[in-house]
Amino acid sequence: IDTTFRSAGSYRAPYLLENSDAAILRFPFPFPEDTYMYSMNIEPHVKAGEVDSLRRTFDVDEHYVVECQEKARILSEDPKRCIVLPHMQKAEWDFIELAMNSLSEDYPDLFHLSRDGMRWHWINRPLNIDQHFVFGDAGTLPYAPFEFMARQMQGDFTLQDQRDNDLWMDGGMVTSQADWSLKFDLGMSFKQWHAPVPKAGEMGIFDRGLRFLLMLQHGMPVRRLNWTMTINPRLDTSPENFTIWGRDRTVVTDDNAKDLVHLRVELQTLFRLPRSNAILFAVRCYLLPLRDIALVHKWRIRLHRVLRDLDPALSAYKGLDLYRAHAVHYLSQFDNNELTSKGI
């Protein structure tokens, strides 16, 4: 893969996020049909898929360095974005092992891991990290193990303990979320943290999703795509900072929608961790403005129809009500009602 990283970019005002043509073409466009409703859209997370972003265990793209810098800044402003409960220590080391093995295997030019028994040596070239440590001995790392590694990866991560036939969100680092909070959800069960979501509970999706995850096997990760929309290329749309980004939703017009409104896609991957039996939930966020979506014929037509016909309960939950009509207005110019086929 092309491993050139952008040196400039800003995920807060003044915003600056540019996507190369290659980055646009690897965007995981989430709609297989012209309409959208929640579903059990879980598939094996194998190193294959329609776009390149799906083909590695953890996707690293041109925004890697700037995104890790933004994460570090959020953590310095609000250290409680990373919390791991004490009984999750084994899961922290499981995470280190999974992340270091996968990154060094998938990107040998960027990351290198050598292991001599418990003595490990980790090199992260893009972030200039060269760390010797003893696996299992937290005192040999500059941060707690989970935090050390999650700081070096794009996206959010939560650790779920499995007890009493349920999953409990007992740790995580969450800095690029779509309006939910780790502090608030910490210690909750699968159905408790999903309580704000409309419709999906009644449709049986959370019953089936939980049953499926309780049986997830080590070495057989799964993935699903989720989506929402965000004004400006802002990663940190957290409830904690709602006063900063919430009002941006009121300034969208028919004219500026193409630049301000971004389709926000989450590539969610789920892994059983071997020692702790915990589940790692990873959320990789991709942001693309409507003007870039409009470069791809099928995407601009499909997004127009999805947004135009979106269930009002989903529109309200995703926070789109203040500007959805402007996005639909912009995209409508591309749609002359031609028939499209399923799949992308």
Comparison of 29 and 193: residue with beta carbon closer to ligand HEM: 193
Amino acid at 3: T
For position 135 contacting ligand HEM by CB under 6 A, the verdict is no
For position 252 contacting ligand HEM by CB under 6 A, the verdict is no
Comparison of 39 and 333: residue with beta carbon closer to ligand HEM: 39
Which one of 28, 30, 209, 221 is in contact with ligand HEM (CB under 6 A)?
209
For position 334 contacting ligand HEM by CB under 6 A, the verdict is no
Edge-to-edge, what's the strand order for the sheet holding 119-124?
Answer: 111-116, 119-124, 129-134
Contact status, residue 175 vs residue 235, Cβ threshold 8 Å: yes
Q: How far is the CB of 15 from ligand HEM (least distance, A)?
A: 22
Counted residue by residue, the chain has a size of 344
For position 67 contacting ligand HEM by CB under 6 A, the verdict is no
Please identify which residue in the block is written with the tokens 């942001």: 287
What is the helix (H) or strand (E) element at residue 168, kind and residue range? strand 166-173
Which one of 92, 156, 185, 240 is in contact with ligand HEM (CB under 6 A)?
185
For position 205 contacting ligand HEM by CB under 6 A, the verdict is yes
Active site residue 224: yes
The residue annotated as part of the active site, out of 55, 224, 291, 308, is: 224
Contact status, residue 126 vs residue 65, Cβ threshold 8 Å: yes
Amino acid at 134: V
What is the helix (H) or strand (E) element at residue 238, kind and residue range? none
Q: How far is the CB of 68 from ligand HEM (least distance, A)?
A: 22
Distance CA 66, CA 18 (A): 12
For position 111 contacting ligand HEM by CB under 6 A, the verdict is no
Q: How many residues bind ligand HEM (CB under 6 A)?
A: 24
Known catalytic residues are 224
